[in-house]
Structure 1
Amino acid sequence: MAQDELPSVPASLPAIDAKAEPTPESAEAEAFYTQAIRELTATDIPFLVAGAYAVSAYTGLSRQTKDLDIFCKAGDCARILAHFKDLGYAVEIRDDRWLGKVLQGRHFFDVIFASANGTMQVEDQWLEHARQVDLLGSRVRIIGPTELVWSKCFIQDRGRHDGADIAHTILKAHDQIDWQRLLSYLDVHWEVLLMQVLNYRWIYPSERSHIPDWLLDELLARLARQRQLPSPRMKICRGRLLSQIDYEIDVKQWGFAGVGGVGELRDA
């Protein structure tokens, strides 16, 4: 089958020229990633390349990477793992809620179908709004810039913070981001989007116009309306969506509810 006819990459998807690729930590790691991508594209399983490879493709940043992030729908994670197990690779279900791994010695790639905190899952529209790109010798779907930003919004703890990836993606691909769709993804957590928007404006004051006026107006209007309302009675620490460890004391000792469960009621 010719490369452009691969079923995992519909011809209707817009193609981009990757501005750069990250640098694998070794030649052996690059060979592993190259073979893994080739094996994936030989299947009929839809998948997206994300992570450092997507950031490099959109921004031109080239940094060393120790792994490869493959996104797929939840129902396809087991198909990918089973396929590579049949090929003789070691596979691991690291967390049945969002993450599997395919390993060869010390090299691996992640198979991700949701976020670690449960706020998002890979859906059909992620595949529909992807791009196609030539990567590691294969034509593949790469995560769209809107979903790339969405996938990184909650990764901000002491061990890892993806704020710079978000800012750089907005800087270099703002005209490709569907801001209305991004707002719909973050509708429940609109304050997180406001934080990212203000973070970008602060980092790049000369590039503030990259954030649509209507989006900032909408987010600030929500904030203004919220300020007119009383504080919630239930003591909640949503910091647990950002870092389980950093905000552990809030739930275990200070009476706050985390992602689920019941916390103390604040005095009215």
Structure 2
Amino acid sequence: MKNSEIQPLLDVMARLRDPQSGCPWDLAQSFSTIVPFTLEEAYEVADTIERMALDELPDELGDLLFQVVFYCQLGKEQGLFDFGDVVEKICNKLTSRHPHVFGSLKEASAEQVKQNWETIKAKERKDKSLHSVLDNIPLALPALTRSVKIQQRVARVGFDWDDLGPVVDKIHEEIGEVLHEVRLDKPIQEKIQDEMGDLLFAVTNLARHLGIEPEQALRQANAKFERRFRGVETLASKSGKSMQEHSLIELDGYWDQVKRNEVHK
């Protein structure tokens, strides 16, 4: 990237944060206050890709890049770092983690590259004096994604099952514990929530063993359910009755019809 290509955006950001003539909203922001916007922009990029609306992607990537530039402007104002420091850090990290490209390591397979990447990351964590394999996993990650990272970390030190049997058994065990709490004479919501968390963690572990990204799988399931339910609403509307006037059996029938129509497309 040529410096001239990013400079206009850096100049716009500096102008927005100018103490005399800048934008009051931008001037009021801090590192912590713009984090929610950064997460939102990242999800909008993911949504655009999932919808394959690639004509919208440059715009969404620009919004995400602006978040990076915003952090850099704040860092520059506080004498901590600037955009150049960020670029230097990522370039150094990428070159050090790709010795098969930038170093003396011979040609490697995709699996070898992945293993080498994890080895280098482990060394980096050790150099940072991190005491646990679970250190440095961001708390702000989506819960499913963070579960996968926790499980991946402990698996590297041998705390993992070798086959699917025990993984599936654990899911059945957790379902039983959820139902046990629910069926008590006086169910305690906090206990039910705790057991549901264990169940979700176990299901996430199954997804990891199957090579499935659970966050992505759930996003796809959400989209599929939404698409099909909208189809149910359309069929219900054509019947001349509101959704509430239908029985569950009728609505289930619409649902099955929508599913059949998807198969025949």
TM-score, normalization by structure 1: 0.27
Query: Larger % of helix: which?
Result: 2
User: Larger relative CO (CA 8 A, sep 6+): 1 or 2?
Assistant: 1
Query: Larger % of strand: which?
Result: 1
TM-score, normalization by structure 2: 0.27
